[in-house]
Amino acid sequence: MSRVAGSYRIERILGQGASGRVYRARSEDGAVIALKELQFATVPGAQQIDAFEREAATLKTLHHPSIPRFVESFREGEGVQLRLYLAAEFIDGEPLSARIARGPLGEAELREVATQVLRVLAYLHQLGLLHRDIKPDNLIVRPGGELVLVDFGSARRLQGSRTFGATLVGTFGYMPTEQLGGTVDATSDLYALGATLLHAATGRPPSDLLAGDFSLRVPAGIPLRDLIVRLVQPRRDRRVRGAQAALALLQDPPRPPAVRPRFAAFAAAALIAGAAIATSLTRASPSVTVRTVPRDPPRGNPAQRWFSRAKPFCNPVEVAQFMARNPAAPGWDGAGFAAGCWALAGKIDEARALLQRLDAPERYRAAGIVFDLAHPVADAGDDVAAAAIMNLVLESAPDNYMALYHAGMSDFALGNRARARSHLTEFLRLYATEDGFRRNAKDALAKLGGTVPVTAAR
């Protein structure tokens, strides 16, 4: 193909999405560039236009060898013929995902990937910028092995140490639970890197390794396991605190505690016994490997099995298409899991519409499923991220005391004083156990000027 956009002659298509393309193009002086095009007529909403313009504005401010160099942005046409363009440095190479598809990475290669990505994250975070979509598809490996981080359409400036209420972006499996609700900080990018390293070390996407509480299972025996475990902690306060700290752990991992001399003989004997057992197991099962985790067989009733397939697609980009092609299981539990998927993708109106089709008793039980799916997000230590889902649950199950707690604490953090006071007052009326939940609610209610109610009999 050959056509002109601005001052660039397009040579071929590099990639195509629902509303745009990326071309290899050549400037008037013969330089090869990557030209991203957004076709206004096919854009589903303002979010895609905002992401496109944000990527151009972000790249313009960045100067790092592992980030594509900004060239220019421009637009052509009018009305439905309008097209937006972003010209940037052309990166010759392949996505890290293509390299992983050929087999898991060994320790040396995995260490090099971690080092290079951590260095570029240290640069971005020092500028107060989060990428928010670290994954193998967004890491290009040059022929010489250098990595380049691409696609800054999801990038966002930090407001203080954490940003609340951001638009939900990211890729399911690679993003931490708090990002499901739009809450991000520097550790969110580090989690995504950990999930990327997990994918590279096992050859399996992280969506295949998700546990029921949305934590990632990290198999024993993989390279850099200790670092990966620290990066993908569900609670942000248990993760490595920054890219520089992660680099330090990578370059100088903590040494295991020394064995005291009087226990040395016992330790040696245990090692010998363990080696003998391992040898017998290896002889009995020569095909066993510790590098990968077998895929779990489908479990549960039809609604639960449906959600096991749906879970990787419960994100704002893919959820609508998945739902259209894969109807949920029948019954109130099928509706509950489908509503939960919509809600995790940030599509609260769609989730509400499903729940409202049920009669009151079934709607109550279906809302319980939505709560169970969202509860790990809140339990990860981030009530704000689960705010919209918890308030959705309360519409159908107003006496769900844990939903009242999480919704109340999130509204308190977001400054929604009246609703926070209402939720927390009702939570304290229903919940009598004197524990951390009750103490937190009482402290927040005191700051809101509320009165602790008499606890209901339970």
Return d(Cα 64, Cα 70) in angstroms, integer.
11
Dihedral sign for Cα 307, 301, 329, 399, please. negative
C-alpha distances (whole Å) from 431 to each of 111, 142, 214 are 48, 57, 26
DSSP 237-287: GGS-S-HHHHHHHHHSPPPPPPPPGGGHHHHHHHHHHHHHHHHHHHHH-TT
Catalytic residue among 29, 50, 92, 133: 133
For residue 178, the Cα-to-chain-centroid distance in whole angstroms is: 8
Rounded-to-integer distance, Cα 209 and Cα 136, Å: 16
Q: Do residues 197 and 206 lie in contact, with contact meaning Cβ atoms separated by under 8 Å?
A: no
Q: Scanning the structure block, which residue is given the tokens 């739902």?
A: 323
**Residue 225 belongs to what H/E stretch?**
helix 225-231
Buried residues in 219-230 as b, exposed as e (16+ CB within 10 A):
beebbbeebbeb
- Respond yes or no: is residue 379 known to be catalytic: no
Instruction: Answer yes or no: are the C-beta atoms of 104 and 203 closer than 8 Å.
Output: yes
Q: Alpha helix (H) ranges present in 285-400?
A: 302-310, 319-325, 331-344, 348-356, 360-379, 387-396
Q: Is 12 exposed, middle or buried (0-12, 13-18, 19+ CB in 10 A)?
A: exposed
**Residues labelled as active-site residues:** 133
